[in-house]
Structure 1
Amino acid sequence: MMNTTAKEATVYYHGTKADLKIGDLIEVGYVSNYGTKRKSKYIYLSETLDAATWGAELAFGDGKERIYVVEPTGAIEDDPNVTDKKFPGNPTKSYRSQHPFKVVGELTDWKGHSPEQLKMMKDHLEKLKEQGIEAIED
């Protein structure tokens, strides 16, 4: 029997191509995985595996696509890059923070998007770039 008064812990994911270990911190100040590769003022996480999958698949670099389970070490806020512009109400459960995330696990059995979905997303991001629209605005 499950205790219905106990609040389940929220699980957060971070998709990337960085090779991290349990206990590592993901911090601001590194070159962004997206857009013009400038130093990021925020780091991003999601409660949904789908959003983290996009993060892993679209990250710059040649490294292995990875999805980490992370714990925020400070306040998080809705990610305005998706909540204000694409998905009002934050159904993607995407967030950002200026505080580090601690890596507490790695998912190894996740499934990526189809090649067609990935191509469509990359084409869309390329069109935005051509229009001078940054994929991530901080």
Structure 2
Amino acid sequence: MPDQKPAVLFVCVHNAGRSQMAAGWLRHLAGDRVDVFSAGSEPADRINAIAVQAMAEEGIDIAGEQPAVLTTDAVRQADVVVTMGCGDACPVFPGKRYEDWALTDPAGLPIEQVRPVRDEVRARVEGLLADLV
């Protein structure tokens, strides 16, 4: 039986900044070795333009992504659920691997303050990826 690809779900409240950057990094770094999803407990209308700009500086295009609502099915399908400040809004299922990343919310911040968040997200995604594959 072939090994199944691990599935990772990134969750933050608005699914417009941190979780979208994390998903963008993991897709970029893992290619097709990992299934990547992101969602929010209270999704925004659109992705954070400064997050898009910060990722574009690294050659990663997340401009076409849309904030999505978090569902229990999404959590059920994921092997790893990474939360970023969504608190009690994230459903918890036994047997899942959960990580909570304390990251600055880039909402409303200028690009100079979003770049360090982007870089911290990359470092954490690299660590996660090393664990998974």
Q: Given the two structures, how large is their TM-score scaled by the length of structure 1?
A: 0.37
Question: Which one has the largest radius of gyration?
Answer: 1
Q: Given the two structures, how large is their TM-score scaled by the length of structure 2?
A: 0.37
User: Which structure has greater strand proportion?
Assistant: 1
User: Which structure has greater helix proportion?
Assistant: 2
